[in-house]
Amino acid sequence: MNKDTKPFLNDGLNVYPEARATLTFFEQEVGKLLSTAVARREGWEPLKNHKVNSPKVDGTSGQGGYWVAMFAEGMSASNEMVKIDFGIWWQAIEGFDQPIVYASFYEIPERLIKFKWNHDKQDIRCFERWNRSFLYLPVTDSDDIGLLLNMVLNELLKLLL
């Protein structure tokens, strides 16, 4: 054991349960914000017969960041299956410290997993990871999550037309 980490580990032994409970509570509350934003959406056009799952906490142990995400599935106007991944993501982009609200096509429709983006629409930005394109907006205030999420989802859904 490194002598510099010993005080940290000793302190951690005593506060771990409380720290873990705090993190779990935070993730649940972020999930509620996402669920509320989805419930208040006016529509999912052109997505038909859509269903949305409950928020899920995930991450890659720092390899790609941490997120609270949801999936929406349905059919496009041309009857192709669609799966959309969206949520809040921390450390999504190397060198960018702000959390983001994001949306991306996940696995289907294959033609839209990786797409070109016009960067001047409502300040919505795009990056690529895992051979997918992600639309995103930075988040600085929890009150903005619903608005930002719906802006990103609206633009992503337009790509189905």
Q: What percent of the chain has pLDDT over 70?
A: 95
pLDDT of residue 61: 60
Per residue in 99-158, pLDDT tens?
999 999 999 999 999 999 977 667 999 999 999 999 999 999 999 999 999 999 999 999
As a whole number, mean pLDDT of residues 73-89 equals 96
As a whole number, mean pLDDT of residues 74-98 equals 94
Residues 65-69: contacts with CB under 8 Å, at least 24 apart:
65/89, 65/90, 65/91, 65/92, 66/90, 66/91, 67/92, 68/27, 68/30, 68/31, 68/34
Q: How many residues does the chain have?
A: 161
The residues near 91 (Cβ < 8 Å, ≥ 6 apart) are 62, 64, 65, 66, 97
pLDDT of 3 above 90: no
The residues near 149 (Cβ < 8 Å, ≥ 6 apart) are 34, 37, 38, 86, 101, 103
Three-state secondary-structure class, residue 20: helix
As a whole number, mean pLDDT of residues 37-60 equals 91
pLDDT of 76 above 70: yes
Radius of gyration for the alpha carbons in the chain, expressed in angstroms and rounded: 18
Burial (CB count within 10 angstroms: exposed 0-12, middle 13-18, buried 19+), residue 55: buried
Mean pLDDT of the chain: 92
pLDDT of residue 152: 96
Whole-model pTM?
A: 0.91
